[in-house]
Structure 1
Amino acid sequence: MSLPHTKRVCQIIKLKPEAEAEYKALHANAWPGVLAALARAHIADYSIHFFPPLHLLVATFKYTGNDFDGDMKKIGEDEETRRWWALTDKMQESFVDGATGSGGEKPWWLGLEEVFRFEGS
């Protein structure tokens, strides 16, 4: 099924090696309130991939709304999401200079530039 979307997002962050098992277990049972906050913010087709040699997490999602910044702010105001971030941020190391955590002044995950897209038929 094809989703309408206005924006594709790809982000990376480093997973601390000692947190790999805990991070995977947490995401295997993602909290329903966190998933609901993502859905309310028009996030679709969200996935996180792990590249063990460099301890990289690569997240991709489609944003289907019309106010990306506003919807991201709403996610950051959700109490359950903030508790989730308090757990997961401790497991990660940001590539963004000066970032202090999810929901901070600077993005916690580093956004990547899209250099190629093929949508096919």
Structure 2
Amino acid sequence: MRVCFELQVKPERLAEYTARHAAVWPEMLAAIADAGRRNYSLFLRPDGLLIGYYETDDDDAAQRALAADPRTTRWEADMAEFFVAEVGRPDQEAPRLTEVFNLENQLARTPSGSDRA
């Protein structure tokens, strides 16, 4: 499954947020992979809008694994100050975006070549 989420980084903290993500702690990278997330990317707009994307087989299980992992707790505590105030832990409570289009899914449903010029 593909998961996309959004958060808001404080505009005055964008440079530091970006710098910290240039070299994420190896133990945090391992925690993400151990939880079953893959193809994980973050995209940041100049106004601080952060869009995250990852793939996983079971997002609920991945969320539970990360929430229980002390490596994640330490990273999230360190990063929480970068986000505009949200309820709960920002990385765990980020609103999910609904996928409305996926090229590969639609191509798979289209008879080969029949809808292409």
TM-score of the superposed pair, with normalisation by structure 1: 0.78
Q: Quote the offset at 1:115 in angstroms.
A: 0.8
1:11 aligns with 2:2: no
State yes or no: 1:88 paired with 2:79: yes
Q: Matched residue of 1:93: which SS? A: coil
| Higher percent of residues as helix | 2
Any runs of at least 4 consecutive aligned residues in structure 1 with deviations exceeding 2 A, and if so which?
Answer: none
| Cα displacement string for residues 52-110 of structure 1 (whole angstroms, at most 9, x for unaligned residues) | 1x3200000001x3x4322211111111211110121110126x6xx22247xxx4211
- Does residue 68 (structure 1) correspond to residue 59 (structure 2)? The answer is yes
Return the match for 1:58 from 51, 57, 70. Answer: 51
- SS of residue in 2 equivalent to 1:100: coil
Report the structure, 1 or 2, having the larger strand content: 1
- 1 CA distance for matches of 2:90 and 2:34? 18
User: What is the aligned partner in structure 2 of residue 32 from structure 1?
Assistant: 26
Amino acid at match of 2:34: R
Mapped pair 1:110 → 2:95: yes
Percent identity, please.
34
**Aligned mates of 1:8, 1:70 — CA distance in 2:** 14
Q: How many corresponding residue pairs?
A: 106
2:14 — aligned with what? Answer: 20
Q: Which amino acid aligns with 2:94?
A: W
**Structure 2 unpaired stretches of 5+:** 109-117
Instruction: Tell me the CA shift for residue 21 of structure 1.
Output: 1.2
Q: Residues 36 and 62 of structure 2 are in contact (CA less than 8 Å); yes or no, is this contact kept in structure 1?
A: yes
Highest Rg: 1 or 2? 2
